[in-house]
Amino acid sequence: MKSFKSIPVTVASLMLTLPFYHAIASELDAHEHGSASLDIAIDTNTIEMRFESPAVNIVGFEYATDDDQQLLLIQLAKNNLSNFDAVFQLVGDASCQTVESSANWVTKHGEEGHEEGHEEGHEEGHEEGHEEGHEEGHEEAPASEHAEFIAEYQLTCKHVDYLTAIDVNLFEFFPDISDLDVQVIYSGGQIKQELDASNTLIRLAK
């Protein structure tokens, strides 16, 4: 097996790079019902993962809401998604510990959990043209915005090289997810795979 030191960039850089591979598909199939994505980067002793899905796959609706029952569904979904050990199972004695696990309901304008990276770019480049664009027809009712769930995880591992596979249990919790596009970058190279309810295992070549 190759040494993990051969990875030329940090995990943080990998996680910025991975969404690029989904960009074209996301633009073409934006908020495609049933589809979701999972990006994984594995470094020397760290695993970072990012899951994205249209909210309709998770809670059955995808617009901003004030309905108490729907808000409860959102909270329950966030609780399930942020429970790494429930939605993922690591195969192999890698001795990993979850150090960060979060799940947010996100809309275009940051309805609840706006991403930090987007905030920074939005602040720096949106100010100058915002007023003019807003005046000319930038008005968008929150109710018309598609929402999504974004979950992020970070784990530290004592023996990450012992990790042989990752079993994805998301389909059990969220049966409306019909296909999950997976991207993995690790010492063994890059994996592109599509999972579904009958095929939930990401195998890492050794």
Write the burial class of residue 27 (CB in 10 Å: 0-12 exposed, 13-18 middle, 19+ buried): exposed
The residue-averaged pLDDT of 87-104 equals: 96
**pLDDT higher at 144 or 137:** 144
Q: Is the dihedral of CA 32, 90, 174, 69 positive or negative?
A: negative
Q: Is the dihedral of CA 55, 194, 21, 167 positive or negative?
A: positive
Amino acid 91: pLDDT = 96
Nearest to 40 by CA among 197, 158, 171, 195: 195
Nearest to 80 by CA among 46, 112, 45, 53: 53
Domain layout of the chain by residue ranges: 4-125+137-203
Distance between CA 117 and CA 173 in Å, rounded? 28
pLDDT exceeds cutoff 70 at 160: yes
Amino acid 158: pLDDT = 96
pLDDT exceeds cutoff 60 at 131: no
pLDDT exceeds cutoff 70 at 88: yes
3-class SS shares of the chain: helix, strand, coil, % to 5: 35, 30, 30
Q: How high does pLDDT run on average in the chain?
A: 78
Backbone angles phi, psi at 81, to 5 degrees: -65, -35
Confidence of residue 7 (pLDDT cuts 50, 70, 90): very low
Token look-up 């909270």 returns 75
pLDDT exceeds cutoff 90 at 137: no
Amino acid 135: pLDDT = 46
pLDDT exceeds cutoff 60 at 176: yes
Helices (H), 112-173: 116-135, 170-173
Amino acid 33: pLDDT = 80
Amino acid 95: pLDDT = 95
| pLDDT tens figures, 44-72 | 899 999 999 999 999 999 998 999 999 99
3-state secondary structure of 106: strand
